[in-house]
Amino acid sequence: MRIVFRCDPALADHLPRPIPAREALPDWLRAMQPRAHSPTHGQDVRTVKQCPPFVDAMTYGFVIPLPCDVTVRDGALSWDWDVPTPSVHAHPRSPISFHVPEQVLGTPLHHPNRVLVKFNSFWTIELEPGWSLFATHPVNREDLPFRLVTGLVDADRFSDVGILFPAVWTDPTFSGTLPRGTPVAQCFAVPREIPEMVFEAFSAEAAARYDATAETLLSTPGVYRRRFRARRLRAKRPAESSGIEP
């Protein structure tokens, strides 16, 4: 899969680039302990730091970074971002714009006192034919004061302008600064082809494998990581020659 990111040439030297999600892991994940005491069990248990599916989901795809510091005080969002005027007339200038609450009326996202923000994109994204871009809230990032609205964009056909990422501001008490580089969306390419769904009862062989694998998982720590987890390949770093396109 080759993903092409493009930006306005006037902004090329001022924008943080989308990065592989594995490079945007939060400090709390790095700092948390691999084991914690469980009063229920009366002993230490493994934390999610030792759960490959939990961590692998957080490292999958790439993240869209906030292009500048955004300060939140008394419910107001502000920023001081001194960048050149884009060469494209219709290009956004601010990192964030807004939706009105009525745009999600009738959904669980709606609350009359909730603000809906829109993270403007300064990169266009082009995928290979037959693939769409799945954009969602950064995985397991409940610490962020917003919740991205999940969307699916046919980015093999829609790639002339940037994708906008709407979000519900979920923490009205938040006060402080979201620093430049904060992940606002986690994205990955998905095929548009609808999968064939097949349903079968266990065969005798499948039932035997089920019992054997379940017993091993219950008796031996780290079985999934050692025997079943696929090796993760690092994404190729963007080329530096043009400053715009990987």
Helices (H) then strands (E): counts for the chain: 4, 16
Which domains does the chain carry?
4-34+47-195 (2.70.40.10), 196-229 (no CATH)
Residue 101: per-residue pLDDT = 84
Bridging pattern class, strands 146-148 and 124-126: unpaired
How much of the chain exceeds pLDDT 70, in percent? 94
pLDDT, one tens digit per residue, over 194-220 is 999 999 999 999 999 999 999 999 998
| 131, 61 Cβ separation under 8 angstroms | no
Q: pTM to 2 decimals? A: 0.89
pLDDT digits (tens, 9 = 90+) for 49-90: 999 999 999 999 999 999 999 999 988 999 999 999 999 999
What is the model's pLDDT at position 28? 97
How far, in Å, CA of 197 to CA of 33, rounded?
40
pLDDT, residue 236, reads 60
Q: Is the Cβ–Cβ distance between 125 and 155 less than 8 Å?
A: yes
The yes-or-no verdict on residue 9 having pLDDT over 60 is yes
Q: How does pLDDT run across 231-245, given as a tens digit for each residue?
A: 876 656 554 433 333
**pLDDT at site 21:** 97
DSSP structural state of residue 60? S
Which pLDDT does position 246 carry in this prediction? 30
**What is residue 115's predicted lDDT score, i.e. its pLDDT?**
86
List beta partners, residue 98: 117
> CA distances (Å), 214 to each of 144, 199, 209, 219, 223, in order?
36, 21, 8, 9, 10
pLDDT at site 244? 34
Euclidean distance between the first and the last CA atom of the chain, given in angstroms as a whole number: 12
Give the pLDDT score at 242: 35
For 108-112, 134-138, 157-161, 203-207, which range has the lowest pLDDT when averaged over its residues?
Answer: 108-112
- Say how far apart CA 45 and CA 64 lie, in whole Å: 34
Mean pLDDT taken over the chain: 92
Residue 197, judged by CB atoms within 10 A of its CB (0-12, 13-18, 19+), counts as exposed
DSSP lists the bridge partners of residue 37 as: 44
The predicted model gives 77-105 an average pLDDT of 91
Residue 63 has a pLDDT of 98
pLDDT higher than threshold 60 for residue 227: yes
Q: Which helix H or strand E contains 137, and what residues bound it?
A: none
Contacts of 212 (CB under 8 A, 6+ apart): none
pLDDT at 102: 86
Looking at residue 100, what is its pLDDT?
Answer: 85
